[in-house]
Structure 1
Amino acid sequence: MTPATPLPDTNATRQALIDACLWMNDRHLNQGTSGNISARTHDGILITPSGVPYEALTPEALVTIPLSGLPGGGSGKPSSEWPFHQGMHNARPDMPVVLHAHPPFCSVLAVQRRSIPACHYMIAAFGGNTVPLADYALFGSPELCANMAQIMADRHGCLMANHGATVLGETIDKARWRLEELETLARTYLFSSIGGEAQILSDAEIAEVLVAFQNYGPRSADNTKG
Structure 2
Amino acid sequence: MRDSERAVRQQIIDLCLEMNRNGINQGTSGNISARHSDAMLLTPSATPYEALTPEMIVSVPLEGDGSDWSGPLKPSTEWRFHRDILRARPDAGAVVHAHPIFATTLAMTRRAIPACHYMVAVFGGTDVKCSGYARYGTEELSREALAALDGRTGCLLANHGAITIGSDLDKAMWRMVELETLAQQYHHSLLLPGGPVILSDAEIAEVLEGFGSYGLQSRDAIAG
Quick check: TM above 0.5? yes
Equivalent in 191, 198, 201 of residue 199 of structure 2: 201
Match of 1:217 in 2: 218
1:58 match: 53
- Following superposition, which runs of at least 4 residues in structure 1 exceed 6 angstroms of deviation? none
Q: CA RMSD in A?
A: 1.4
Q: Describe the shift of the 1:178–1:74 C-alpha distance in structure 2 as closer, same or farther (beyond 3 A).
A: closer
Partner of 1:176: 173
Counterpart in 1 of 2:124? 127
Query: Using a 3 Å threshold, how does the CA distance of structure 1 residues 74 and 19 change in structure 2: closer, same or farther?
Result: closer
Q: Which has the bigger relative contact order, CA under 8 A and spacing at least 6? A: 1
Shift of 1:171: 1.4
Q: How many residue pairs get matched?
A: 212
1:73 CA drift (Å): 5.4
Q: Gaps (5+ residues) in structure 2?
A: none
- With the length of structure 2 as denominator, give the TM-score of the two structures: 0.91
Q: TM-score, normalised by structure 1?
A: 0.90
Q: 1:173 touches 1:218 (CA, 8 Å); kept in 2?
A: no
Aligned match of 1:111: 108
Q: Which amino acid aligns with 1:166?
A: I
**Structure 2: how far apart are the matches of 1:97 and 1:18?**
13
1:91-120, CA deviations, whole angstroms, 9 ceiling, x for partnerless residues?
Answer: 111111000000000010010111100000
Q: Deviations over 1:128-176 (max 9, x none)?
A: 0000001100101010011111221210000000000000011111111
Residue in structure 2 matched with residue 3 of structure 1 by the alignment: none
DSSP-derived class of the 1:45 partner: strand
Q: Quick one: distance in 2 between partners of 1:120 and 1:78? A: 36
Quote the residue 2:67 is aligned against: 71
Aligned to 1:24: 19
* Sequence identity percentage: 51
Partner of 2:183: 186
